[in-house]
Amino acid sequence: MAWLVYALISAGAAAATAILAKIGVEGLPSTLATAIRTVVVLVFAWGMVAALGEFRGLWMVPRRSWLFLGLSGMATGVSWLAYFRALQLGPASRVAPIDKLSLPLTILLAAVVLDEPVTLKVVSGVALMAAGALLTLP
């Protein structure tokens, strides 16, 4: 269950992201703030590729992966632009939980597109999380 460790690191980093971004976007256009963040992510990610010696794998990436990673990057861009604008307009304590409504959508898409199983336990947990996110609304 090594994935769980990385998922928990991701959750912690995402929490820090919301707070740091809320402070950083103050007084800036949200698109400019998103672009700055994106450059930092770009440099950091390519730095990790270099540090791990993974450049040689770049030439072996299949076309299908390029397509879907490109589409994923576009979806990320839309998500980040909307997220930063929401942070600029609203409190982080409300924006972040609503942003996490991506969870039920992810579960649904994983079931439909990836044919991943969805158990009653998963549906129940996601429903409770979604209800909690919706309770943060004014």
Looking at the fold, whether 19 and 49 belong to one and the same domain comes out as: yes
Say what the pLDDT of residue 57 is. 84
Whole-angstrom distance, CA of residue 74 vs CA of residue 80: 10
What stretches in the chain show pLDDT beneath 50?
A: none
Say what the pLDDT of residue 90 is. 94
Looking at the fold, whether 87 and 106 belong to one and the same domain comes out as: no
Say what the pLDDT of residue 82 is. 96
Looking at the fold, whether 124 and 85 belong to one and the same domain comes out as: no
Number of domains in the chain: 2
Looking at the fold, whether 122 and 57 belong to one and the same domain comes out as: no
- Give the DSSP per-residue string, the chain: -HHHHHHHHHHHHHHHHHHHHHHHTTTS-HHHHHHHHHHHHHHHHHHHHHHTT-GGGGGG--HHHHHHHHHHHHHHHHHHHHHHHHHHHS-HHHHHHHHTTHHHHHHHHHHHHS-----HHHHHHHHHHHHHHHHT--
Whole-angstrom distance, CA of residue 6 vs CA of residue 27: 33
Looking at the fold, whether 105 and 74 belong to one and the same domain comes out as: no
Say what the pLDDT of residue 56 is. 87
Q: Which amino acid is at 37?
A: R
Express each pLDDT in 20-34 by its tens digit: 999 999 999 999 999
The whole domain housing 84 covers 2-91
| C-alpha gyration radius of the chain | 17
Say what the pLDDT of residue 1 is. 78
Looking at the fold, whether 104 and 43 belong to one and the same domain comes out as: no
Looking at the fold, whether 52 and 86 belong to one and the same domain comes out as: yes
Whole-angstrom distance, CA of residue 106 vs CA of residue 90: 24
Whole-angstrom distance, CA of residue 99 vs CA of residue 35: 19
Say what the pLDDT of residue 137 is. 87
Last residue of a domain, one of 71, 91, 111: 91
Say what the pLDDT of residue 114 is. 96
